[in-house]
């Protein structure tokens, strides 16, 4: 069986042995590249470790800009297998997830974490398969952040009914569910058939001290110098879900009435189509597509308005981040999240999905009458990491204390809460951690 490689031995805050009341918490995400789910997973891992827990951050690929943000008190575990090294697999995220299952099984059998949090929808199936096949008593919690019914309906890579069917088959094997918004919780319950009372809603851990510090970094960009036209900002992957074509059409309407520029931070397959549409609309000279930036927050802090044009969301982090930076916002009233964040339009205009004219009118109204930026920052404070981390821990530690609905076969080893002072176990926790590559087959 393919194994896994431990990237870095665990280090625990403080001195002496780890208290036996502290759990070993594993968080599973595909990579450490930029994006909402990886960033939030790293944020949670760091917060759990700061509270004295032994934390394993399990990734399929350890490369990425977020790697340096991982606390030294978090053990970074990179799954590894021969399949993951194949060029075809490395270039396809779905194949990477499937190929990671055998390595994840080996990780669970060697480390026996008390609970595994599958932190993004594309790793849910791998986590369920691995936990069932590993036959350990590790509890599994799925964090759901995507609107399952909309994602399935709009995908072109699978037959439309397939994703909900897979979810209905696999999700009930999990021990707990966390949704990042009420809309996502209701969609999950309706599509998968999970009782709504089993789903805990915890908003994303978006606002951190690091975000606030990074937002104060001086911005040296010619568009933001004194005397330049105001900038409308969009942030997100250049994909169908974000519906940036509607934003371009809306911006063209605003640009026809006043000098203004549009900058979209993000990368994706739609870049070429967006550039072509900008040429068609005659706004190419006022559009910038700089790609993915490690620190988008100074741009948010200095933009005149942040515009979210999405067709669907889970809970849009970028909208919260912009508010935390004091940037005025407008958004489509898409499922799910913006209406919850903006409290029905109290903190920024909400417009129908795909309505470029309404989005243009909302942008123009905010440019003409900017809101109080401090009020926006205060609202974003509801999504601070400290609050989210405590609620996550309540759920994760709670499932370790309750019987599983799907118990593994008789004779499977029951991991103990606690272990060695460093938590560096390979097959048992009292042994030192294996060096990188030692557990590969």
CATH number (domain holding residue 33) = 3.40.50.2000
What was the pLDDT predicted at 157?
54
Domain that holds residue 323: 209-382
227: left (phi over 0), alpha (psi -120 to 50) or beta: left
Q: Let me know if residue 136 belongs to a domain.
A: yes
Residue 83 corresponds to which tokens in the numbers above? 């399949």
Cβ atoms 433, 10 nearer than 8 A: yes
Verify that 124 and 47 share a domain, yes or no.
Answer: yes
E strand or H helix that includes residue 234? strand 230-235
Average pLDDT over residues 327-338: 95
pLDDT in tens, 340-390: 999 999 999 999 999 999 999 999 999 999 999 999 999 999 999 999 999
Q: Which neighbouring-strand residues pair with 308?
A: 331
Verify that 375 and 291 share a domain, yes or no.
Answer: yes
pLDDT in tens, 52-111: 999 999 998 888 888 999 999 999 999 876 666 666 656 566 677 777 898 999 999 999
pLDDT in tens, 173-183: 999 999 999 99
Residue 66 corresponds to which tokens in the numbers above? 């977020």
Is the pLDDT confidence value at 257 over 60? Answer: yes
Verify that 213 and 331 share a domain, yes or no.
Answer: yes
Total domains present in the chain:
2
Average pLDDT over residues 101-129: 93
Give the pLDDT band of residue 404 (cuts 50, 70, 90). Answer: low
Torsion angle of C-alpha atoms 109, 111, 117, 119, degrees rounded to 10: -90
Helix (H, G, I), strand (E, B) or coil at 315: coil
pLDDT in tens, 62-74: 888 889 999 999 9
Give the pLDDT band of residue 441 (cuts 50, 70, 90). Answer: very low
Q: Give the neighbor-by-neighbor strand order of the sheet with 24-31.
A: 4-6, 74-79, 54-61, 24-31, 115-118, 139-144, 176-179, 199-201
Candidates 115, 88, 89, 114; CA nearest to 102 is: 89
Least confident of 71-85, 92-106, 147-161, 295-309: 147-161
As a whole number of angstroms, the longest Cα–Cα distance in the chain is 72
Q: Is the pTM of this model over 0.95?
A: no
Verify that 30 and 179 share a domain, yes or no.
Answer: yes
In degrees rounded to 5, what are phi and psi of residue 323? Answer: -65, -40
Highest mean pLDDT among 86-95, 186-195, 422-431: 186-195
Verify that 76 and 121 share a domain, yes or no.
Answer: yes
In degrees rounded to 5, what are phi and psi of residue 386? Answer: -60, -45
């Amino acid at each position: 069986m393919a194994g896994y490689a431990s990237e870095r031995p665990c280090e625990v805050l403080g001195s002496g042995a780890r208290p036996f009341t502290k759990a070993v918490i594993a968080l599973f995400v595909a990579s450490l590249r930029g994006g909402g789910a990886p960033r939030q997973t790293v944020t949670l891992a760091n917060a759990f470790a700061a509270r004295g827990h032994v934390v394993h951050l399990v990734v399929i690929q350890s490369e990425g800009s977020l790697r340096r943000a991982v606390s030294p008190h978090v053990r970074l575990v990179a799954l590894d297998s021969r399949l993951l090294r194949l060029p075809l697999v490395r270039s396809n995220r779905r194949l990477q997830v499937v190929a990671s299952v055998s390595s994840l099984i080996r990780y669970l059998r060697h480390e026996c974490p008390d609970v595994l949090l599958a932190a993004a929808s594309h790793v849910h199936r791998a986590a369920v398969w691995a936990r069932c096949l590993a036959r350990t008593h590790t509890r599994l919690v799925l964090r759901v952040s995507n609107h399952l019914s909309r994602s399935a309906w709009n995908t072109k890579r699978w037959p439309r009914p397939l994703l909900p069917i897979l979810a209905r088959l696999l999700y009930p094997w999990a021990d707990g569910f966390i949704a990042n918004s009420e809309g996502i919780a209701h969609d999950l319950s309706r599509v998968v058939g999970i009782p709504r009372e089993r789903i805990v809603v915890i908003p994303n851990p978006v606002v951190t001290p690091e975000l606030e510090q990074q937002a104060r970094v001086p911005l040296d960009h010619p568009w933001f110098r004194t005397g330049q036209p105001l900038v409308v900002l969009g942030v997100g992957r250049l994909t169908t879900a974000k519906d940036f074509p509607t934003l371009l059409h809306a911006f063209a309407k605003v640009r026809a009435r006043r000098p203004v520029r549009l900058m979209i931070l993000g990368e994706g397959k739609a870049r070429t189509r967006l550039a072509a549409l900008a040429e068609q609309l005659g706004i190419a000279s006022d559009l910038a597509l700089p790609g993915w930036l490690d620190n988008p927050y100074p741009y948010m802090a200095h933009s005149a308005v942040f515009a979210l044009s999405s067709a669907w969301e889970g809970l849009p982090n970028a909208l919260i981040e912009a508010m935390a930076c004091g940037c005025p916002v407008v958004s489509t009233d898409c499922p799910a999240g913006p209406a919850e964040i903006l409290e029905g339009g109290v903190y920024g205009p909400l417009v129908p999905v795909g309505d470029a004219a309404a989005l243009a009118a909302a942008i123009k109204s905010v440019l003409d009458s900017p809101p109080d930026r401090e009020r926006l920052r205060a609202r974003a404070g509801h999504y601070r990491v400290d609050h989210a981390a405590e609620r996550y821990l309540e759920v994760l530690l709670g499932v370790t204390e309750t019987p599983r609905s799907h118990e593994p076969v008789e004779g499977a080893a029951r991991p103990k809460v606690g272990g060695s002072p460093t938590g560096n176990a390979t097959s048992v926790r009292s042994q030192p951690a294996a060096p990188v590559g030692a557990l590969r087959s």
